[in-house]
């Protein structure tokens, strides 16, 4: 793996990427997320889970107030904010020692969350759904995870089409005043893709490193794993998730987004020790 270190500043700190894989812990405060819907609706329970994930090794906490699973029911901005703002405020006031990411496709939600103390925007439409999103990020100079997404699964060229999407996201960011140094790219495993396409993306992930931006990959408990493993439900996809996380890291991912933080931190550290010799945090005595 080519050695490259990125420093991505956010309010009050910076993400250092390239020394070891960072782990983003998923905190869905929704009733209908595909894997953990309803578990963390109570702000106190969500706060406790965020701290638990930090103790397990999470480097970023990603809070989402609207499910983006296939067939999800969109919610208005007011409801999304009602779910996420109390959690963000509790974590900020409590001094959470890692940055808070907001998983939203709405600029209004992103702005209110950044104003409340969140640090990063995780946009599942890569700045291309809400025309105000890039401008909101630029005003706060907040890092953005720009994920590839599309309606349907038809592609002329899977890698080429996603690369073109990413180039548009980077151009939109630059036009709004958000420098490319603040953009992280996510190929969108499970979004507008078949199971075969998802596997192809993991296999060819390094293709996107040519864009010069770090990659985030989120495969945790997703339906492709269930399909490959004979129809396993989300709660039984730990081993499959571990395999995809290891492959993603080996093929260039700098951040992995996961539900099972403790287990996937161990997977990441082991994979780092193999593919990032001398940089994975392990040294032989």
CATH number at residue 62: 3.20.20.20
> Is the whole model's pTM more than 0.75, yes or no?
yes
Q: Report the distance separating Cα 272 and Cα 154, nearest Å.
A: 34
Three-class secondary structure of residue 163 per DSSP: helix
Range of the domain at 62: 15-275
- pLDDT under 70: residue ranges of the chain: 1-2, 32-40, 69-72, 279-282, 285
Is the residue at 160 inside a domain?
Answer: yes
Is the residue at 168 inside a domain?
Answer: yes
Is the residue at 130 inside a domain?
Answer: yes
Give residue 283's pLDDT. 73
Is the residue at 4 inside a domain?
Answer: no
- Chain center to CA of 19: 18
Is the residue at 120 inside a domain?
Answer: yes
Q: Report the distance separating Cα 78 and Cα 62, nearest Å.
A: 19
Q: Report the distance separating Cα 270 and Cα 260, nearest Å.
A: 16
Is the residue at 285 inside a domain?
Answer: no
Q: Report the distance separating Cα 220 and Cα 268, nearest Å.
A: 13
Q: Outline where DSSP puts E strands in the chain.
A: 6-10, 13-17, 22-28, 60-64, 100-103, 120-123, 144-147, 183-186, 215-217, 253-258
Neighbour-count burial of 228, counting CB atoms closer than 10 A to its CB (0-12 exposed, 13-18 middle, 19+ buried): middle
36-66: pLDDT as tens digits: 555 667 899 999 999 999 999 999 999 999 9
Is the residue at 284 inside a domain?
Answer: no
Instruction: Using a pLDDT cut of 90, give the percent of the chain over it.
Output: 87
Give residue 1's pLDDT. 45
Is the residue at 103 inside a domain?
Answer: yes
Beta carbons within 8 Å of 126's beta carbon, 6+ residues apart: 146, 147, 148, 149, 165, 166, 168, 169, 186, 188
Catalytic residues: 222, 257
Kindly list the distances between the CA atom of residue 145 and the CA atoms of 12, 215, 233, 249, 277, in Å, as whole numbers in the listed order.
18, 9, 28, 17, 27
- If one counts the domains in the chain, the total is 1
124-175: pLDDT as tens digits: 999 999 999 999 999 999 999 999 999 999 999 999 999 999 999 999 999 9
């Amino acid at each position: 793996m080519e050695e490259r270190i990125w420093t991505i500043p956010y309010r009050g700190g910076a993400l250092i990427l390239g020394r070891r894989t960072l782990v983003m812990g998923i905190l869905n405060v929704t009733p209908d997320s595909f894997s953990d819907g309803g578990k963390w609706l109570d702000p106190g329970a969500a706060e406790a889970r965020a701290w638990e994930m930090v103790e397990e090794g999470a480097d970023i906490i990603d809070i989402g107030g609207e499910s983006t699973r296939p067939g999800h029911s969109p919610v208005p901005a007011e409801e999304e904010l009602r779910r996420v703002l109390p959690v963000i405020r509790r974590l900020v006031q409590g001094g959470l020692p890692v940055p808070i990411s907001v998983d939203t496709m709405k600029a209004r939600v992103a702005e209110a969350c950044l104003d409340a103390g969140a640090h990063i925007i995780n946009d599942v439409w890569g700045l291309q759904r809400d025309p105000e999103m890039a401008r909101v990020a630029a005003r706060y100079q907040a890092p953005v995870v720009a994920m590839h997404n599309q309606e349907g699964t038809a592609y002329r060229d899977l890698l080429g089409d996603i690369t073109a999407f990413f180039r548009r996201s980077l151009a939109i960011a630059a036009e709004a005043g958000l420098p490319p140094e603040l953009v992280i790219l996510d190929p969108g495993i499970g979004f507008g893709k078949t199971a075969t396409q998802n596997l192809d993306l993991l296999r060819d992930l390094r293709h996107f490193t040519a864009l010069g931006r770090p990659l985030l990959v989120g495969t945790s408990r997703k339906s492709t794993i269930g399909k490959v493993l004979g129809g396993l439900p989300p709660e039984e996809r730990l081993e499959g998730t571990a395999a995809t996380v290891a492959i993603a890291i080996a093929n260039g991912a700098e951040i992995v987004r996961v539900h099972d933080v403790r287990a996937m931190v161990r997977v990441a550290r082991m994979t780092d020790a193999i593919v990032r010799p001398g940089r994975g945090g392990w040294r032989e005595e």
